């Protein structure tokens, strides 16, 4: 219990409210160890630091009660420390055979020969702080006397010497996190005119002291508390009933458990953090986010506890090593790159299969110096096929590394062999990118062995064919390197390899039967986990969450545990940027012997009307070795403000693990939808013999789903068209790292642009992404795989599909099924076996399995090149996903009138065609554009058509490294196609864009996933007098264009809501009007900006808690003297960050920028750049400055709270 101070007690003389924990078994153990008798006291006296008794409390019979808690208030002075006396005494101390000792003052050291048992239970001190005492054997961390500081609530300490490395900063951070929800709730209640009900308040008379005064100044706000008037004691306020609304004992336990993570060395071996280790304690959730050690490379023995990792770099999660700058090639511990061009080769016209062999005699071949086209050494004629050969050596320094061979850029097709075995090939035209793809081959097996080898390359091409160029590389620091990238153009030239992570944590003694698990929300790619040197499990799919049981390999209580994680991102395993490492959160979970299984709570609301909604909770139980006869599951449904909306309970049998069904009925429910994303909380308690054994909660939404060809897709009984976009999981300059704020920002931007649905392509997303979709009201297609049995890349998931698909599907569905935003499950994308019986059989198997886990949602898959032979595959699905086949909708509907369809992918340039059909035909429920947001990888897929046509390919050459096909760029800045889409979806009435001047003197032409090279800009310096193509997007009868107030032309609105004009450029104001003669006139204006004069910084909206997971987005712009954005500005900008944060990413939206995202010097692109600042975990201000030569600098101060 907590005792609150009386109103007449002043902060100046009250320095603590603490808890005293008495556990007779601890004292008994200490006496037995020293061969002394023990008799527990009858009464505990409560005293202060000056020896004055302030109260007493009885001790009940030990057989009935194992612990006693009582209030203690300690009186100290601002000017000096209190007397060094014990604050705990016993009226029957003389009956103790164990002698009493006062706890050490701040000068006293723990001697080398002293043990924890040398101190009696209850000998706690007030005004506690931490001291690090070193002796000959170990570092020891314990509480010492310092009455000048407020004390820590100590009820959960089982021994007077606290065995932890907890710091004031960690304590402060944890309390802040726990207090934020209370603060928000209080604010909401005040807005409604209600009395705040949560524990922390700004307006209470009562006082609670906590130990981190040095971090605050007078009057500074801290999680809703105000500092008091005293300059030495920092006062935070709480309310009467604090114990009921904010259980400090529970908080304290969580604080200490969390702080133990990462502790280096501790004393003692058996201390419990729980009041009674025999009593079941509901689950504990312990984040493992900060303080990891990381090494990029392979290190034998790194899983062993004795391995010395002190030289490893410290990182906090989420962490993606593929977005970090690469070391120089010669210093890379992972890769060895052999550059074979430029260099001398042997060349021969003709085509014989035996020329690939290592041992053939090629001495008569022509010696050539590459790179150059074969026309320069083919001795006349125009060959169609030629061969090149040369020797090369794998050096001893490459042993144990991944060996890559750079051959160069080849026109057109090639097959490469090393020692007669195929090393790689590029065949085809548009899709294979033969004229722009750098040939870099991963040497496998003996091909990479140290020593001499022979490479032979067969080339098929035209007159300019041959090995025509070397492989490019970055000019400065960069995370990208074509020579080290297994995924090449598709992966955006990102580099994988092997990475090791190590984390230390300490746990208390646990109740019998308790289990400890570690949860990974995602780790790319193949991951193996060890605890204390023992392998505890692995995961092979980089996108699914996974959980591993650590219980049997834990160290004894109070001793350090070493969690080692090896992550391998090998070879060519992804068609896009995947990232590498622990890019999503990790946490521990401690559960009692009788508990709810991991992801074992499923909430459904199928029976819901405007009057009532039946909430069904399926609670899957886990039973340990003890098997009690029965149990009860209690369900409480709460509104967003915490009010109870419904309750229910059900009895269950614990004869074996099983599922208990519980229902509760909500009257007048608030339905979840994109327009009104109302969330409820389901709280579940598992009781055995009326004692709570487990407790957990989840957010959910009340909503219903239905689908049919006659009405389309029905949400809460209402038809809704899916205005959708596909997204990959990376966040541009953050790489794949999943920060909650980045997930929230993306969803919010897409929602504001008119999107109501997102397809997660082509893998399960992070939990934080789905949380954001739940809060903001975004529908989600949750997709499992990009491949099944057949490969798309040689090292991808197809190697593991048969063994692992069920576990990965289970993980996706069980983790995500309570998210109301998830409305459709997708089992795959463009599967290689889709036209074969194997494909139809696999689709049916996966679909049936998911229906067994969740029968409430429809199942889809994305299918390209749809034709009649697709029918067996589609038969397994509830909704057929059509990739780029809108022409098949109507004929397929005529053949299968019950089939529900949607465009799971569509071309941006054809958005009008796709959307019109979705609106016209109810059996087509929506359109998902490829893509809503730019992503790293599939380099340049969103380009305009290149000339000559033979050079136009699926992707674009280096330094292109992002797809550039999104409605928003890598920074989240709006791109031209989004202006059009907002007009198409009715978000904006009109948009005005200008196609930039082309070197060929013609307007741009988008490729399949591309868009016109246009901008919402009338700033084109140096182009005066040149004809510009101006496009006006909007609905209406007529469109008019004016320049500087003078009419240019008036036309009927064109097809696809697009009206084109031609106008000679001259600076000024360009104006477009729709329906200029009517009453509903709408217009858009573009104004010429002058030369850049200054930089401008602005902080994007969002909460900024002082937590390492917290990031801030700062937009930097070049503006002219009138404050107008200068869209042609490309100035180099330097950003400086100081204070309670750090710059973690800085860049722009240029798809050809291949430089470092960690560099504080970056160029503007189209007048803009984005800086991302991460909190250092402590409250405080961060000052950001931006400077560029010749421009006025900008300064911004942001506050992490």
Regarding whether 752 and 883 lie in a shared domain, the answer is: yes
**Residue 1001 belongs to a domain:** yes
Do 837 and 886 fall into the same domain? Answer: yes
Residue at which a domain ends, from 1058, 1087, 1116: 1087
Position 303 confidence tier, pLDDT thresholds 50, 70, 90: very high
Q: Are 237 and 141 in contact (CB under 8 A)?
A: no
The verdict on residue 482 lying in a domain is no
Q: How confident is the model at residue 700 (pLDDT cuts 50, 70, 90)?
A: very high
According to the model, what pLDDT value does residue 205 have? 26
Residue 800: phi and psi, rounded to 5, are -115, -5
- Mean pLDDT of the 849-868 span: 98
| Segment among 236-245, 645-654, 1106-1115 with least mean pLDDT | 236-245
**For residue 537, is it within any domain?**
yes
Q: What pLDDT was estimated at residue 54?
A: 37
Phi, psi of 597 (to 5 degrees): -65, 155
Distance CA 947, CA 228 (A): 72
| Residue-averaged pLDDT of the chain | 81
Reduced to 3 states, what is the DSSP secondary structure of residue 717?
Answer: coil
Lowest average pLDDT, out of 245-259, 728-742, 1185-1199, goes to 245-259
Instruction: Using the predicted structure, report yes or no on whether residue 846 has a pLDDT greater than 70.
Output: yes
Confidence (pLDDT) at 381: 67
Q: What is the pLDDT of residues 554-613, one digit of tens each?
A: 999 999 999 999 999 999 999 999 999 999 999 999 999 889 999 999 999 988 999 999
Residue percentage of the chain with pLDDT more than 90: 71
Residue 109: what pLDDT? 32
Q: Identify whether residues 623 and 581 lie together within a single domain.
A: no
Q: What is the pLDDT of residue 629?
A: 61
Helix (H) or strand (E) holding 1055: none
- Asked whether residue 176 is assigned to any structural domain, the reply reads yes
| Bridge pairing between strands 644-653 and 659-667 | unpaired
Give tens-digit pLDDT for 757-791.
999 999 999 999 999 999 999 999 999 999 999 99
Q: Quick check: 67 pLDDT over 60?
A: no
Strand-pairing partners, residue 372, are none
In sequence order, what are the beta bridge partners of 1052? 1038
More confident residue, 1076 or 332: 332
Res. 302 pLDDT band, cuts 50 70 90: very high
Inform me whether the pLDDT recorded for 11 exceeds 50. no
pLDDT at 112 > cutoff 70:
no
What integer pLDDT is reported at residue 657 of this predicted model?
A: 62
Average pLDDT over residues 1158-1166: 98
Question: What percentage of the chain carries pLDDT values higher than 70?
Answer: 76
**Do both 738 and 880 map to the same domain?**
yes
Q: Is 969 among the domain residues? A: no
**Residue 1143 clears pLDDT 90, i.e. is over it:** yes
Q: Residue 108, CB half-sphere, CA atoms under 13 Å: how many? A: 14
pLDDT of residue 428: 86
Neighbours of 173 (CB within 10 A): 24
Give the Cα separation of 774 and 673 in Å (integer).
9
pLDDT at position 35? 41
Same domain as 866, residue 751: yes
List the Cα angle 1173/1178/1181 in 5-degree steps. 55
Q: Which of 282, 189, 184, 180 is nearest to 697 (CA)?
A: 282
**pLDDT range class, residue 1175, cuts 50, 70, 90:** very high
In this structure, the answer to whether residues 870 and 764 fall within a common structural domain is yes
Give the CATH number of the domain where residue 567 resides: 2.60.120.260
Distance between CA atoms of residues 74 and 106, nearest Å: 17
pLDDT at residue 644, rounded to an integer? 97
| Per-residue model confidence (pLDDT) at position 813 | 98
994-1019: per-residue pLDDT in tens? 997 764 556 789 999 999 999 999 99
| 792 and 891 part of one domain | yes
pLDDT value for 196: 63
Same-domain status, 187 and 117: no
Tens digits of per-residue pLDDT, 790-829? 999 999 999 999 999 999 999 999 999 999 999 999 999 9
Which residues, in sequence order, are CB contacts of 529 under 8 Å at separation 6+?
518, 535, 536, 537, 538, 548, 563, 564, 565, 566
Strands 1132-1139 and 1111-1119: unpaired
Q: Please, which residues have CB within 8 angstroms of residue 229's CB and are 6 or more apart in sequence?
A: 11, 218
Whether 270 maps to a domain, the answer reads: no
Crossing angle of the two packed helices 740-752 and 767-776, in degrees rounded to 10: 40
> What domain range includes position 1140?
1094-1200
**For position 950, what pLDDT does the model report?**
74
Q: Are 43 and 105 in contact (CB under 8 A)?
A: no
Residues 402 and 500 in one domain: no
* Domain shared by 782 and 915, yes or no: yes
Alpha carbon distance 732, 1148 (integer Å): 9
Using an 8 Å Cβ cutoff, are 234 and 213 in contact?
A: yes
Residue 454 lies in a domain: yes
Beta carbons of 945 and 1007 less than 8 angstroms apart:
yes
Assess contact for 41 and 95: CB atoms under 8 A.
yes
Q: Given pLDDT bands bounded at 50, 70 and 90, which one contains residue 383?
A: confident
Residue 204 falls within a domain, yes or no?
A: yes
Mean predicted confidence (pLDDT) in 276-303:
86
Neighbour-count burial for 1067-1104, b at 16+ CB within 10 Å, e otherwise: beebbbbbbbeeeeebbbebebbeebbbbbbebeeeeb
| Mean pLDDT calculated for residue range 688-711 | 95
Q: In the predicted model, is pLDDT for residue 281 greater than 80?
A: no
Count structural domains, the chain: 8
Percentages (nearest 5) of helix, strand, coil residues in the chain? 15, 35, 50
In a 3-state reduction of DSSP, which class is residue 114? coil
Q: What is the CATH number of the domain that holds 660?
A: 2.60.40.10
Place 181 in a pLDDT band, splitting at 50, 70 and 90. Answer: low
The pLDDT value recorded for residue 1078 is 81
Residue 627 sits in the same domain as residue 733 = no
In eight-state DSSP terms, residue 888 is G
| Contact predicate 574/494, CB 8 Å | no
My answer on whether 200 and 299 are in the same domain is no
- Whether residue 37 is predicted with pLDDT greater than 50 in this model: the reply is no
Per-residue tokens: 1073: 């009007």
Of the three residues 575, 591, 607, the one that is the final residue of a domain is: 591
Domain boundary among 700, 733, 751: 700
């Amino acid at each position: 219990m907590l005792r609150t101070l009386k109103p007449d007690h002043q902060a100046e003389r009250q320095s603590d409210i603490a808890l005293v924990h008495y556990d007779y078994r601890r004292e008994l153990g200490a006496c037995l160890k020293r061969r002394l008798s023990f008799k527990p006291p009858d009464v505990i006296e409560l005293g202060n630091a000056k020896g004055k008794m302030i109260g007493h409390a009885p001790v009940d019979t030990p057989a009935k009660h194992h612990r006693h808690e009582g209030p203690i208030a300690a009186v100290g002075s601002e000017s000096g420390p209190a007397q060094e006396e014990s604050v705990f005494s016993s009226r029957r101390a003389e009956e103790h055979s164990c002698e009493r000792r006062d706890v050490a003052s701040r000068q006293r050291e723990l001697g080398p020969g002293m043990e924890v048992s040398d101190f009696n239970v209850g000998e706690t001190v007030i005004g506690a702080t931490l001291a690090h005492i070193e002796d000959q054997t170990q570092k020891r961390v314990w509480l010492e006397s310092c009455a000048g500081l407020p004390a820590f609530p100590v009820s959960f300490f089982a021994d007077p010497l606290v065995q932890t490395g907890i710091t004031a900063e960690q304590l402060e951070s944890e309390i802040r996190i726990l207090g934020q929800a209370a603060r928000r709730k209080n604010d909401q209640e005040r807005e409604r005119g209600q009395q705040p009900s949560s524990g922390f308040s700004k307006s209470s008379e009562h006082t609670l002291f906590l130990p981190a005064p040095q971090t605050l100044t007078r009057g500074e706000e801290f999680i809703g508390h105000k500092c008091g008037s005293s300059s030495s004691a920092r006062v935070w306020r709480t309310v009467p009933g604090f114990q009921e609304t904010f259980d400090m004992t529970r908080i304290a336990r969580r604080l200490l458990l969390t702080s133990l993570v990462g502790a280096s060395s501790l004393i003692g071996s058996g201390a419990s953090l729980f009041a009674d280790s025999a009593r079941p304690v509901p689950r504990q959730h312990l984040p493992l986010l900060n303080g990891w050690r990381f090494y990029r490379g392979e290190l034998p023995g790194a899983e062993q506890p004795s391995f010395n990792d002190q030289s490893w770099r410290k990182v906090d999660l989420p962490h993606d090593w593929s977005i970090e700058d690469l070391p120089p090639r010669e210093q890379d511990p992972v890769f060895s790159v052999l550059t074979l061009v430029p260099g001398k080769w042997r060349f021969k016209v003709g085509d014989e299969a035996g020329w690939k062999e290592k041992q053939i005699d090629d001495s008569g071949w022509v010696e050539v110096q590459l790179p150059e086209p074969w026309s320069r050494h083919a001795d006349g004629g125009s060959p169609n096929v030629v061969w090149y050969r040369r020797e090369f050596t794998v050096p001893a320094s490459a042993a144990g590394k991944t060996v890559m061979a750079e051959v160069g850029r080849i026109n057109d097709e090639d097959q490469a062999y090393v020692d007669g075995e195929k090393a790689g090939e590029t065949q085809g035209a548009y899709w294979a990118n033969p004229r722009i793809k750098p040939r870099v081959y991963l040497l496998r097996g003996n091909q990479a062995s140290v020593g001499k080898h022979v490479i032979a390359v067969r080339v098929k091409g035209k007159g300019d064919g041959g090995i025509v160029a070397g492989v490019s590389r970055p000019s400065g620091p960069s995370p990208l390197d074509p020579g080290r990238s297994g995924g090449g153009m598709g992966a955006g030239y990102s580099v994988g390899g092997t990475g090791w992570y190590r984390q230390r944590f300490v746990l208390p003694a646990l109740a019998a039967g308790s289990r400890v698990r570690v949860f990974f929300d995602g780790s790319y790619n193949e991951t193996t986990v060890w605890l204390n040197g023992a392998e505890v499990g692995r995961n092979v799919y980089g996108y699914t969450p996974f959980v591993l049981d650590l219980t049997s390999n834990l160290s004894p209580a109070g001793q350090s545990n070493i969690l080692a994680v090896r992550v391998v991102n090998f070879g060519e395993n992804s068609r896009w940027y995947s990232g590498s490492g622990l890019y999503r959160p990790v946490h521990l979970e401690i559960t009692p012997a009788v508990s709810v299984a991991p992801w074992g709570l499923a909430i459904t609301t199928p029976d819901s009307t405007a009057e009532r909604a039946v909430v069904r909770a399926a609670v899957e139980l886990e039973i340990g070795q003890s098997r009690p006869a029965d149990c009860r599951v209690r369900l409480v449904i709460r509104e967003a403000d915490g009010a109870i909306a419904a309750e229910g309970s059900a009895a269950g049998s614990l004869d074996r693990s099983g599922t208990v069904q519980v229902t509760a009925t909500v009257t007048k429910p608030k339905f979840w939808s994109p327009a009104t994303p109302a969330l409820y909380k389901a709280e579940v308690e598992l009781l055995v013999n009326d004692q709570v054994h487990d407790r957990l909660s989840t957010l959910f939404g009340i909503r219903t789903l239905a689908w049919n060809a006659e009405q389309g897709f029905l949400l809460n009984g209402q038809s809704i068209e899916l205005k959708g976009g596909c997204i990959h999981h990376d966040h541009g300059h953050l790489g794949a790292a999943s920060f909650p704020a980045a997930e929230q920002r993306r969803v919010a931007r897409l929602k504001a642009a008119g999107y109501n649905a997102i397809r997660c392509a082509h893998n399960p997303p992070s939990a934080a992404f789905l949380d954001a979709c739940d809060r903001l009201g975004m529908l989600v297609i949750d997709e499992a795989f990009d491949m099944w049995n057949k490969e798309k890349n040689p090292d991808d998931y197809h190697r593991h599909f048969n063994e692992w698909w069920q576990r990965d599907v289970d993980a996706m569905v069980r983790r995500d099924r309570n998210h109301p935003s998830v409305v459709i499950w997708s089992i795959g994308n463009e599967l290689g076996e889709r036209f074969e019986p194997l494909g139809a059989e696999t689709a049916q198997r996966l679909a049936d399995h998911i229906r067994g886990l969740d029968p409430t949602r429809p199942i889809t898959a994305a299918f390209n090149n749809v034709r009649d032979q697709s029918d067996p595959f589609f038969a397994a699905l509830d909704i057929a996903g059509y990739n780029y086949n809108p022409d098949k909708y109507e004929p397929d509907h005529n053949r299968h009138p019950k089939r529900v369809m949607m465009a799971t992918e569509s071309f941006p340039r054809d958005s009008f065609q796709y959307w019109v059909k979705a609106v016209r035909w109810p059996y087509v429920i929506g359109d998902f554009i490829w893509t809503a947001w730019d992503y790293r990888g599939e380099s340049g897929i969103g380009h305009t058509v290149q000339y000559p046509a033979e050079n136009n390919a699926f992707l674009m050459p280096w330094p292109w490294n992002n797809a550039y096909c999104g409605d928003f760029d890598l920074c989240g800045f709006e791109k031209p196609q989004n202006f059009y889409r907002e007009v198409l979806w009715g978000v904006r009435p009109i948009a005005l864009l200008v196609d930039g001047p082309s070197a060929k003197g013609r307007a741009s032409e988008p490729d399949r996933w591309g868009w016109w090279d246009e901008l919402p800009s009338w700033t084109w310096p140096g182009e005066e007098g040149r004809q510009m193509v101006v496009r006006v997007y909007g609905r209406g009868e007529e469109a008019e264009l004016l320049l500087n107030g003078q009419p240019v032309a008036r036309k009927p609105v064109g097809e696809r809501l697009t009206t084109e004009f031609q106008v000679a450029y001259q600076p000024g104001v360009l104006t477009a009007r729709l329906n200029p003669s009517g009453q509903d006139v709408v217009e858009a204006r573009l104004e010429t900006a002058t030369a850049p004069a200054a930089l401008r910084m602005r902080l994007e909206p969002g909460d900024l808690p002082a937590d390492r997971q917290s990031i801030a987005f700062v937009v930097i712009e070049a503006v002219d003297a009138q404050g107008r954005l200068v869209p042609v500005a490309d100035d180099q900008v330097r950003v400086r960050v100081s204070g309670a944060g750090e710059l973690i990413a800085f860049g722009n939206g240029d798809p050809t920028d291949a430089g470092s995202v960690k560099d504080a010097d970056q160029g503007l692109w189209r007048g803009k750049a984005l800086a991302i600042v991460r909190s250092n975990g402590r409250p405080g201000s961060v000052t950001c400055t931006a400077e560029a030569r010749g421009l006025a600098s900008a300064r911004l101060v942001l506050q992490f709270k």
